[in-house]
């Protein structure tokens, strides 16, 4: 398992994250994306309509390093933020989809290497960082 139970539980409650990629000239790009945790591969899988034509997908040809962030405001009174940042390597992959799906079979698959969390694990204070081998 690449992510902890707390991290997987948190991600399962969220629908939207932000994926940062790097273009061929070194320019950053950050986009909101839908995602799911793939327990079979231990990866974050990002799907979308016409994904192979997107800039973020094409950026992976030049630089496979990405950062993916999911966060939210759990409470205002008291102020409580929580979130996860996953840095790692991404690959462009293809998976079969249902014929009536509006999504393409093209996906971005993130292989976590470094994980930062805040407010996700009730037993941890502040931001935590760990490396996945």
Question: Phi and psi at residue 11, in whole multiples of 5°?
Answer: -60, -35
pLDDT reading at 1 higher than 70: no
d(CA 83, CA 16): 12
Provide the CATH number for the domain around residue 35: 2.30.110.10
Rg of the chain, C-alpha, whole Å? 15
Return the percentage of the chain with pLDDT > 90, whole number. Answer: 85
The parent domain of residue 19 ranges over: 5-131
Residue 102, number of CB atoms within 10 A of its CB: 9
Return the percentage of the chain with pLDDT > 70, whole number. Answer: 99
Query: Count of domains in the chain?
Result: 1
Torsion of CA 46, 103, 14, 89, to 10 degrees: 0
Lowest mean per-residue pLDDT among 18-22, 38-42, 47-51: 47-51
Instruction: Please say whether the beta carbons of 121 and 4 come within 8 A.
Output: yes
Render pLDDT for 51-89 as a digit per residue (tens, 0 to 9). Answer: 999 999 999 999 999 999 999 999 999 999 999 999 999
Q: Is the pTM of this model over 0.85?
A: yes
pLDDT reading at 101 higher than 80: no
pLDDT reading at 118 higher than 90: yes
Pinpoint the alpha helices (H) of the chain. 5-12, 55-59
pLDDT of residue 102: 72
The count of C-alpha atoms lying within 13 angstroms of the C-alpha of 106, restricted to the half-sphere facing its C-beta, is 13
Q: Which tokens go with 75? A: 């409470």
């Amino acid at each position: 398992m690449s992510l902890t139970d707390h991290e997987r539980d948190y991600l399962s409650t969220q629908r939207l994250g932000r994926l940062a990629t790097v273009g061929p000239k070194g320019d950053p790009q950050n986009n909101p994306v839908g995602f799911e945790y793939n327990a079979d591969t231990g990866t974050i899988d990002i799907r979308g309509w016409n994904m192979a034509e997107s800039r973020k997908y094409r950026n992976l040809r030049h630089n496979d390093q990405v950062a993916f962030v999911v966060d939210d405001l759990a409470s205002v009174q008291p102020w409580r933020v929580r979130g996860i940042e996953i840095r790692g390597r991404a690959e462009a992959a293809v998976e079969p989809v249902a014929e009536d799906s509006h999504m393409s079979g093209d996906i971005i698959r993130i292989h976590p290497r470094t994980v930062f969390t805040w407010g996700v694990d009730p037993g941890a204070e502040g931001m935590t960082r760990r490396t996945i081998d």
